[in-house]
A and B are shown apart, each in its own frame.
Chain A
């Protein structure tokens, strides 16, 4: 039996804002994601050229070589807007916090064998800098992107990257003394195994095309790094050697990667399908940066997996190529 409370009903004059209606096929009830995002960024009659980049207008799609007849087609399948993002992250943070508490209260971090602990720290701690690099690239993406449908998820992604860098920092502080962070940074700066990765990330800092930044960081770098490190290294290698505490302390990361991949795939799929020209460019970027990233991850895979490194890396690359293919990328 249903209970129905009556409220005074007033017929609305319209359902949504015109900038939203134009993009959803007319005046229909719109979701919070749509009202927060669609058609929001200013598009015309701009007053001044940027003093920092006078060759472009303040808001300018020409900051990418990718061309779209409608940039708002690059929607986020997660439909995240600030409130849904922060509420979801708050829940996930609660789980992650409980994991930290659980590990600490039961002294699981002390039960790691010395070599497992060392391996975990050697591989994971320098990656806090890689996460910071991701944060830089997503801030750059946010500041340069055209259309709110990219700007809005980009800043949330940047903050997620910062959160991940901070979770890795907390992991270091829990497993060992603060000095391990300095040691890991020294490795990041001069350790042989880390130089190709750092070199590649620094090269990504000077990319100016916002769609290339989007692709390089969120598709290629993350798309290879997260499956390699969190699925294969943390969840398989470390766990099989009694390091499941580490998996608990990083449980946020693979879960987050699964979510952010939905966004990345959603955007790329539409951009590729738009034109042969987009497809060619995206394929070229993907191939170039994938090969570079695989080379950069090779010494890290050696450190993480020893003699199974090739299998592990190959699996990850195959998985990545299959994902690219599904998106219509010629990889």
Chain B
């Protein structure tokens, strides 16, 4: 036998390069611009895709090994949770509203970005960047599906989980994350990457994913928290992709800087609006609270984000335009959004309730500058009315911001007593906004945002009724018809927690499981 000398040992970097970028080639039978038609129209200039630094050198064999191991453990817990009625170990049935909000408003986004990352993973010219995007695409598939499997058990026993996809496409407050996700997916591949990988995964993940998962840990939700721990290593890979992507774009050409800055301004602001829902969840929906929204914002946005933007200053990037306003809003948004959902509780597919004194005191302590002055009196007033049997339900439809689609409920910077409101006329139509930043996003891309499917406007136009209803019938109840179009089980999915079926069932089943 012809025994050869020991072969050259490749370094990890060279080996990984052969496993990824070495696989691609420059097409010659088809023009490169026909094979990669989407990576020029946004104006981003890439001179050398080889300068892309692989954020994590993971080959498929290692990927399958790690992920397979993680999923074996995760599904063992999901199975055990289902088998042993793990849902009865949560702190309190009010906690269910937090996971309803997650399942209704966040999980569909995980599923959305599968296609977005697959598109980026196909259409960037650099192979290494494509592989990184593809791994995130399949990870996001994992996140959606593991969430579906964790939530599946809750859906069997509680309301509000049953028609996620149907509600996502129709319900007024879900058009906030839906329009956010569709804005990113309909953008070009570079904007998509800055929107999701950088602005969302890198800058804001700790304010979205972490609060929900910590909330689950604090409230005895073994199923969700196990998913959270299991997804952590995926999330850190996604964050690494985000920071690598932005540095790569900024280093490739100075002309990229203003384009990227514009996207950071836009997506930071859009992200911070979506996060208002998380703020409400943290401050109001968790029976056992982790930290206040304000504290989370201070640590994860102000401290971490501040350091990040100091770091990016060397590329000519400044903090996002809406930064100061978003920071000021930390004292207010969670309360404003909760009050909105409380008053529109009849139209939300989760429950709302009156807070106990102890909970109000917690908020007073966490928000010394705003809570007692602006929000506690209103909450106590609503609680008193409820105690007198006059639970407040708003039935007039609110005005929605054309960009973020949240009802106008936020206040002017500098004046927490005045609802913030802006208007722009574009091609003879009037458009309304919640803030100067949402207005600016519209004005930068009016042809995109005039297309917004605004639920309230659609309701007025009669587009939110089931096909078999007759709006001219004498007993026609438009609100009820809309809620049926949303596929709500009226009186079970929506409204006040106190006296709800979820509350009763949880108490009864827990009693069954813990008493003789």
* Chain A residues engaging chain B, CB cutoff 8 angstroms: 7-8, 10, 12-19, 32, 35-36, 39-52, 58, 81-83, 86-94, 96-97, 107, 110-111, 114, 128-129, 131-132, 135-136, 139-140, 142-143, 148, 151-152, 154-156, 158-160, 162-163, 165-167, 169-170, 173, 177-178, 181, 185, 188-189, 198-199, 202-203, 205-206
Contacts and interface: CB of A to CB of B under 8 A. Distances in A.
A49 B165 CA distance: 20
B142 A83 contact: yes
Contact of A90 (B69, B114, B162): B69
A162 B14 CA distance: 17
A158 B186 contact: no
13 contacts: A35-B148, A36-B149, A51-B41, A52-B37, A82-B141, A82-B146, A83-B146, A89-B64, A90-B65, A91-B68, A92-B64, A143-B116, A189-B25
Contacts of B19: 165-166, 169-170
Contact of A12 (B68, B111, B112, B157): B157
| Top 6 A-B residue pairs of the complex, sorted by shortest distance between their CB atoms | A90-B68, A163-B60, A139-B122, A12-B156, A143-B119, A142-B118
A276 B239 CA distance: 49
Nearest to B37: A52
Given A10-B157, A18-B166, A87-B72, A143 B122 contact: yes
Contact of A19 (B115, B122, B163, B188): B163
B163 A18 contact: yes
A95 to B, nearest CB: 11
A90 B134 contact: no
Nearest to B68: A90
A199 B29 contact: yes
Given A7-B85, A12-B157, A35-B152, A142 B115 contact: yes
Interface of B: 1-4, 7-8, 10, 14-15, 18-19, 22-25, 27-30, 34-35, 37-38, 41, 59-61, 63-65, 67-69, 71-72, 74-75, 83-85, 108, 111-112, 114-116, 118-119, 121-122, 127, 130-131, 134-135, 137-138, 141-142, 144-146, 148-149, 152, 155-159, 161-166, 168-170, 175, 178-179, 182-183, 185-189, 448-449, 451-453, 458, 487, 505, 509, 512-513
A27 to B, nearest CB: 9
Contact of A202 (B23, B29, B175): B29
A57 to B, nearest CB: 10
Nearest to A54: B186
A289 to B, nearest CB: 15
B227 to A, nearest CB: 11
A152 B186 CA distance: 20
A159 B163 contact: no
B161 A17 contact: yes
A92 B63 CA distance: 13
B156 to A, nearest CB: 4
A202 B35 contact: yes
Contact of A18 (B61, B179, B185, B487): B487
B64 A129 contact: no
A12 B25 CA distance: 55
Given A17-B161, A166-B19, A139 B118 contact: yes
A50 B28 CA distance: 28
B266 to A, nearest CB: 14
B64 A205 contact: no
Contact of B155 (A17, A170, A205): A17
Q: Is the interface of B mostly helix, strand, loop or mixed?
A: helix
A74 to B, nearest CB: 17
Contact of B18 (A43, A162, A173): A173
A15 B162 CA distance: 10
Most buried by B among A15, A32, A47, A50: A47
A321 to B, nearest CB: 27
A131 to B, nearest CB: 8
Given A42-B169, A82-B141, A90 B67 contact: yes
A51 B512 contact: no
Given A17-B164, A50-B186, A110-B4, A178 B138 contact: no
Contact of B65 (A93, A151, A188): A93
Contact of A203 (B30, B138, B142): B30
A169 B22 contact: yes
A163 B61 contact: yes
Contact of B137 (A43, A128, A155): A155
A47 B30 contact: no
A135 B505 CA distance: 49
A128 B59 CA distance: 14
A42 B108 contact: yes
A7 B14 contact: no
A92 B61 CA distance: 9
Contact of B156 (A15, A44, A88, A167): A15
B182 A40 contact: no
Interface centre among A97, A166, A167, A188 (most CB of B within 10 A): A166
B25 A166 contact: no
Given A14-B156, A151-B115, A178-B14, A40 B144 contact: yes
A132 B156 contact: no
Contacts of A58: 182, 185-186
Nearest to B153: A12
Nearest to B145: A36
Among A13, A49, A189, max chain B CB count under 10 A is at A13
Contact of B23 (A128, A154, A170): A128
Instruction: Output the residue of B68, B130, B155 with the most chain A CB within 10 A.
Output: B68
A32 B149 contact: yes
Max chain B C-beta neighbours (<10 A), residue from A96, A110, A142, A160: A142
B8 A10 contact: no
A136 B123 CA distance: 9
Contacts of B164: 17, 19
A251 B369 CA distance: 67
Contacts of A131: 23
B127 to A, nearest CB: 8
A290 B10 CA distance: 40
Given A13-B157, A40-B165, A91-B68, 8 more contacts: A47-B453, A48-B448, A58-B185, A82-B142, A139-B119, A155-B137, A188-B25, A205-B30
A181 B145 contact: no
A299 to B, nearest CB: 16
A155 B1 contact: no
B63 to A, nearest CB: 8
Nearest to B158: A13
Contacts of A111: 1
Contacts of A18: 162-163, 166, 487
